[in-house]
Structure 1
Amino acid sequence: MRSTGRPDSDRYPPRSMSSSSSIRQARESLGKRLREIRKDSGLTARELASRAGWHESKCSRIENGRTPPSDADLRVYTLHCAADDLTADLIATARNIDGSYVEWRRMERSGLRRAQESVIPLWERTRHFRAYSSWLIPGPFQTPAYIRALLMSIRDRRALPDDLEAAIDVRVDKQRVLYEGARRFAVVLEESTLRHLIGGPETMAGQLGHLLSLATLPNVSLGVIPLCTDRTALWPVEDFWVFDDAQVNVELVSAFLTITQPHEVGMYARTFAALADSAVYGAPARTLITSAIDSLG
């Protein structure tokens, strides 16, 4: 059954801001949230600092976003404000602020191989992968020729050190997660993804044929949202991955976004479920893929 109703914040995750302003605003937002928690408890900043054994200015610095709180600070804060149920979410928020937004130029300054290797631990520990794409075929489903075309374009566009062959080898090797362990993959593609010509007709035909083959794997669910679908209630969003229920990765034009805050991860999980509900599977999905192959001539 397809989703209906107006789009809302639970369905559409916010897009990223610039790195420095995003971090500053995120710290201020966390501080504001802590201030509200303290006020709801009936404590003044001085009283909380006294109970926590802090210098009386520390509470103010944290609440104004000037001092990043440690995990221990947040545990003490919620303990004395009788808000223990919020501890895990606040800690995840604080951890996510500095590490969530990494510019590509920082991640790729030594070449593409490092960026490919950086996600290997995450892929190896994940058991349930959910991916949505409106731009490109997702990484584990890419052929070597498709990978080469993508990474070559990125290398040239960003003027990166040339470690193309090593980066391709790492990306191809990571695809072993498709076949190792009890892992499940749920992938939803916009039909436009099948039509974006990457690497020329021959490369694209091979890629789409490979997609048809992978769709037969018992641990893979492949859905395609047809171009003719009414998108009034749920339009395309940025490409994203959900790893178990622990983390979301989003690839932006300028940066790589990592989300671990539980309520935000939940927003993406619900968005994925709604998008998946709009997709077709099995024979109808194969028909769309075959049609894209035929259009290549």
Structure 2
Amino acid sequence: MSPTAPASSVEQARQALGQRLREIRLDAGLTARALAALCEWHESKCSRIEHGRVTPSDADLRAWTLHCGASNEIADLIATARGIDGMYVEWRRIERAGLRQVQENVQPLFERTRRFRIYQSWVIPGLLQTEAYSTAVLNTIVALRGVRDDVAEAVAVHMARQSILRSHDHRFAFLVEEWVLRTVIGDVDVMGAQLGHLIQLALLPSVSLGVIPVGARRGAGWPVESFTLYDDAQVNVELVSAHLTVTQPHEVAMYGQTFTDLAALACYGGTARRLVGAAIQALG
């Protein structure tokens, strides 16, 4: 089973907010046209908000609740709308303040999570990266996206976070596609050291490493976008242009099932380490 379309969490959240605003309007005894007139909007705006086609601004919500006599709802509605805006965020917006800030912003999420399930179809998972490999990845991001170059500072934060792998109250299940092991990031020396490091970390008591072999017969476990499950509360999905946060319980469950399906295809233990070793040999 594959996850739902990336934008669906945002769409469903907008629709839920629109339904709530519709109920507030009906409780006030107003038609959509009458409310639009009171707010001095085009008459179609209420309909677009109520059907989840757009996310209302703070000003829109203040006007809506004012004319519906529901000003006591404003704080919760604004928080809900801002949460929707934070679900799908373009990388250029996230990285505007620099890559170090991106690394620091996720620290609270890592600290409160106890069970991590991480699938990577692009690169070695961040928590398993060497300093040189991480530097090469972030240098590529700087070059491709034109963000501020604070790679050294970002890598330092990134490396410090890896101490969580040795804590006693966290568990990590990593799944990587075999082609990730054979994709040279940086250069041959950087990649060789990274693969050796991966074998070492796979021996940690808190870590489970699964490698999905090239040529594995795919049933339910189709390759998908890279994602991380934080307990059963949240999924972060890495898209080409943006970062998606999934919190709808049924969608989180879909990603959980997808992880289970992919995990069923993977090799573990000595077999997984042999696949990593074969990738090292392939470097020459």
- What TM-score do the two structures reach when normalised by structure 2? 0.78
Does the residue aligned with 1:278 lie in a helix, a strand or coil? coil
Task: Map 1:44-193 to 2 at 5 A.
Answer: 46=26, 48-49=27-28, 63-65=50-52, 96-193=83-180
Match for residue 257 of structure 1 among 237, 241, 244: 244
Query: In the alignment, what sits opposite 2:3?
Result: 12
Contact residue 166 and residue 204 of structure 2 kept, 8 A: no
Match for residue 228 of structure 1 among 194, 209, 215: 215
Matched residues in 2 for 1:67 and 1:242: separation?
26
Matched residues in 2 for 1:125 and 1:28: separation?
27
- Which amino acid in structure 2 is aligned with residue 29 of structure 1? Q
Q: 1:189 to 1:93 in 2, by over 3 A?
A: farther
* Matching of residue 194 in structure 1 with residue 185 in structure 2: no
Does the residue aligned with 2:264 lie in a helix, a strand or coil? helix
Q: Which runs of 5 or more structure 2 residues have no equivalent in the other structure? A: 37-45, 62-78
1:134-172 deviation per Cα after TM superposition (whole angstroms, max 9, x unaligned): 111111000001001001111122122221111111111
Question: Considering only aligned residues, what root-mean-square deviation do their CA atoms show, in Å?
Answer: 3.1
Match for residue 286 of structure 1 among 265, 273, 284: 273
Contact residue 259 and residue 265 of structure 1 kept, 8 A: yes
Q: 1:103 to 1:67 in 2, by over 3 A?
A: closer
* Matching of residue 241 in structure 1 with residue 232 in structure 2: no
- Which amino acid in structure 1 is aligned with residue 4 of structure 2? P
Matched residues in 2 for 1:113 and 1:188: separation?
26
| Displacement of 1:261 | 1.2
| Displacement of 1:198 | 0.4
- Aligned positions, number: 252
Segment drifting more, 174-183 vs 111-120: 174-183
Q: 1:213 to 1:28 in 2, by over 3 A?
A: closer
Does the residue aligned with 2:203 lie in a helix, a strand or coil? coil
Q: 1:233 to 1:203 in 2, by over 3 A?
A: same
- Which amino acid in structure 2 is aligned with residue 12 of structure 1? P
| Displacement of 1:34 | 6.1
Contact residue 224 and residue 281 of structure 1 kept, 8 A: yes
- What TM-score do the two structures reach when normalised by structure 1? 0.75
- Which amino acid in structure 1 is aligned with residue 16 of structure 2? L
Q: Which runs of 5 or more structure 1 residues have no equivalent in the other structure? A: 1-6, 39-43, 51-55, 74-91
1:19-67 deviation per Cα after TM superposition (whole angstroms, max 9, x unaligned): xxx95x446533676699x8xxxxx974x557xxxxx959x76633477
Query: In the alignment, what sits opposite 1:29?
Result: 15
Matched residues in 2 for 1:186 and 1:103: separation?
27
Matched residues in 2 for 1:292 and 1:279: separation?
16
- Which amino acid in structure 2 is aligned with residue 112 of structure 1? L
Does the residue aligned with 1:199 lie in a helix, a strand or coil? coil
